[in-house]
Amino acid sequence: MPKQRLKEYLDREDVKYVSIVHSPAYTAQEVAASAHIPGKILAKTVIVDIDGTLSMAVVPASYAVDFDLLQGALGARKVALVHEEDFEERFPDCELGAMPPFGNLYGMPVIVSRSLAENDEIAFNACTHRELIKLGFKDFERLAQPKVITFSVHAD
Protein backbone atom coordinates (compact mmCIF):
# COMPACT_ATOMS: atom_id res chain seq x y z
CA MET A 1 0.00 0.00 0.00
CA PRO A 2 1.96 3.03 -1.15
CA LYS A 3 1.52 6.20 0.87
CA GLN A 4 -0.75 7.62 -1.86
CA ARG A 5 -3.09 4.66 -1.43
CA LEU A 6 -3.05 5.20 2.36
CA LYS A 7 -4.04 8.83 1.87
CA GLU A 8 -6.75 7.85 -0.62
CA TYR A 9 -8.13 5.40 1.95
CA LEU A 10 -8.18 8.10 4.64
CA ASP A 11 -9.81 10.57 2.22
CA ARG A 12 -12.43 8.01 1.19
CA GLU A 13 -13.25 7.45 4.87
CA ASP A 14 -13.55 11.25 5.38
CA VAL A 15 -10.67 11.40 7.87
CA LYS A 16 -8.91 14.69 8.56
CA TYR A 17 -5.16 14.16 8.78
CA VAL A 18 -1.84 15.94 8.47
CA SER A 19 1.07 14.62 6.43
CA ILE A 20 4.48 15.40 7.93
CA VAL A 21 7.59 15.04 5.79
CA HIS A 22 10.84 14.71 7.73
CA SER A 23 14.45 13.74 7.17
CA PRO A 24 15.02 9.98 6.94
CA ALA A 25 14.75 8.31 10.35
CA TYR A 26 14.55 4.63 11.20
CA THR A 27 13.88 4.19 14.90
CA ALA A 28 10.67 5.43 16.46
CA GLN A 29 12.55 7.81 18.74
CA GLU A 30 14.51 9.24 15.77
CA VAL A 31 11.28 9.70 13.82
CA ALA A 32 9.64 11.52 16.73
CA ALA A 33 12.60 13.87 17.08
CA SER A 34 12.97 14.46 13.33
CA ALA A 35 9.26 15.20 12.87
CA HIS A 36 8.94 17.18 16.13
CA ILE A 37 6.19 14.84 17.33
CA PRO A 38 5.82 13.82 20.99
CA GLY A 39 6.92 10.19 21.39
CA LYS A 40 3.75 9.44 23.33
CA ILE A 41 1.57 9.89 20.20
CA LEU A 42 3.95 8.30 17.67
CA ALA A 43 2.87 4.74 17.03
CA LYS A 44 5.50 2.03 16.65
CA THR A 45 4.14 -1.03 14.83
CA VAL A 46 5.65 -4.33 15.97
CA ILE A 47 4.70 -7.52 14.15
CA VAL A 48 4.06 -10.41 16.53
CA ASP A 49 2.96 -14.01 16.20
CA ILE A 50 0.05 -14.74 18.53
CA ASP A 51 -0.72 -18.45 18.58
CA GLY A 52 0.20 -18.71 14.90
CA THR A 53 -1.52 -15.50 13.72
CA LEU A 54 0.54 -12.53 12.55
CA SER A 55 -0.71 -9.41 14.31
CA MET A 56 0.25 -5.78 14.75
CA ALA A 57 1.14 -4.74 18.28
CA VAL A 58 1.11 -0.93 18.35
CA VAL A 59 2.85 0.99 21.13
CA PRO A 60 4.05 4.59 21.66
CA ALA A 61 7.57 5.32 20.38
CA SER A 62 9.00 5.54 23.88
CA TYR A 63 7.51 2.19 24.94
CA ALA A 64 8.28 -1.47 24.30
CA VAL A 65 6.06 -4.51 23.99
CA ASP A 66 6.00 -6.59 27.17
CA PHE A 67 5.44 -10.04 25.67
CA ASP A 68 4.40 -11.61 28.99
CA LEU A 69 1.79 -8.88 29.56
CA LEU A 70 0.53 -9.27 25.99
CA GLN A 71 0.28 -13.03 26.28
CA GLY A 72 -1.55 -12.79 29.60
CA ALA A 73 -3.93 -10.04 28.47
CA LEU A 74 -4.91 -12.03 25.39
CA GLY A 75 -4.99 -15.42 27.13
CA ALA A 76 -2.65 -16.65 24.39
CA ARG A 77 -0.53 -19.78 24.57
CA LYS A 78 2.42 -18.19 22.76
CA VAL A 79 3.39 -14.66 21.71
CA ALA A 80 6.65 -14.02 19.86
CA LEU A 81 8.33 -11.23 17.94
CA VAL A 82 8.40 -11.80 14.17
CA HIS A 83 11.63 -10.82 12.43
CA GLU A 84 11.36 -8.41 9.50
CA GLU A 85 12.52 -10.91 6.89
CA ASP A 86 9.61 -13.17 7.90
CA PHE A 87 6.90 -10.60 7.16
CA GLU A 88 8.30 -8.17 4.61
CA GLU A 89 6.30 -9.77 1.75
CA ARG A 90 3.07 -8.86 3.61
CA PHE A 91 3.94 -5.18 3.04
CA PRO A 92 5.25 -5.06 -0.55
CA ASP A 93 4.58 -1.36 -1.02
CA CYS A 94 6.09 -0.21 2.27
CA GLU A 95 9.68 0.33 3.21
CA LEU A 96 10.77 -2.32 5.69
CA GLY A 97 9.85 -1.19 9.20
CA ALA A 98 7.59 1.66 8.02
CA MET A 99 4.23 -0.12 8.08
CA PRO A 100 1.21 1.96 9.11
CA PRO A 101 -0.83 0.43 11.95
CA PHE A 102 -3.79 -0.46 9.73
CA GLY A 103 -3.85 -4.23 10.00
CA ASN A 104 -7.30 -4.21 8.44
CA LEU A 105 -5.60 -3.29 5.14
CA TYR A 106 -3.16 -6.20 5.46
CA GLY A 107 -5.41 -8.91 6.85
CA MET A 108 -3.97 -8.65 10.38
CA PRO A 109 -5.52 -8.01 13.77
CA VAL A 110 -4.37 -4.82 15.50
CA ILE A 111 -3.67 -4.61 19.22
CA VAL A 112 -3.03 -1.14 20.61
CA SER A 113 -1.42 -0.31 23.91
CA ARG A 114 -3.74 1.49 26.28
CA SER A 115 -0.95 4.06 26.83
CA LEU A 116 -1.27 5.08 23.15
CA ALA A 117 -5.07 4.99 23.17
CA GLU A 118 -5.16 7.56 25.98
CA ASN A 119 -4.07 10.28 23.53
CA ASP A 120 -6.32 12.41 21.34
CA GLU A 121 -3.98 11.97 18.35
CA ILE A 122 -1.88 9.26 16.78
CA ALA A 123 0.98 9.62 14.29
CA PHE A 124 2.56 6.79 12.31
CA ASN A 125 4.82 5.99 9.38
CA ALA A 126 3.15 6.43 6.01
CA CYS A 127 4.88 3.39 4.41
CA THR A 128 8.17 5.29 4.29
CA HIS A 129 10.91 6.42 6.67
CA ARG A 130 10.43 10.01 5.47
CA GLU A 131 6.75 10.74 6.08
CA LEU A 132 4.23 10.49 8.90
CA ILE A 133 0.47 10.77 9.02
CA LYS A 134 -1.12 12.35 12.11
CA LEU A 135 -4.83 12.06 12.80
CA GLY A 136 -7.33 11.82 15.62
CA PHE A 137 -7.14 8.61 17.63
CA LYS A 138 -10.91 8.18 17.39
CA ASP A 139 -10.65 8.14 13.57
CA PHE A 140 -7.85 5.58 13.72
CA GLU A 141 -9.89 3.48 16.12
CA ARG A 142 -12.96 3.62 13.86
CA LEU A 143 -10.97 2.45 10.82
CA ALA A 144 -8.51 -0.06 12.29
CA GLN A 145 -10.86 -1.40 15.01
CA PRO A 146 -7.99 -2.37 17.30
CA LYS A 147 -8.22 -4.29 20.51
CA VAL A 148 -7.00 -1.87 23.22
CA ILE A 149 -5.23 -3.52 26.14
CA THR A 150 -2.36 -2.90 28.54
CA PHE A 151 0.80 -4.60 27.25
CA SER A 152 3.56 -2.02 26.94
CA VAL A 153 6.21 -0.71 29.29
CA HIS A 154 8.22 2.48 29.15
CA ALA A 155 11.54 1.73 27.42
CA ASP A 156 14.63 2.57 29.44
pLDDT digits (tens, 9 = 90+) for 33-78: 888 899 899 999 999 999 999 999 999 998 999 999 999 999 999 9
Fold of 3-154: YbaK protein (3.90.960)
Model confidence, pTM: 0.93
Inform me whether the pLDDT recorded for 113 exceeds 90.
yes
Question: What's the 3-state SS for the chain?
Answer: CCHHHHHHHHHHCCCCEEEEECCCCCCHHHHHHHHCCCCCCEEEEEEEEECCEEEEEEEECCEEECHHHHHHHHCCCCEEECCHHHCHHHCCCCCCCCCCCCHHHCCCCEEEEHHHHCCCEEEEECCCCCEEEEEEHHHHHHHHCCEEECCEEECC
| pLDDT grade for 1, boundaries at 50, 70 and 90 | very low
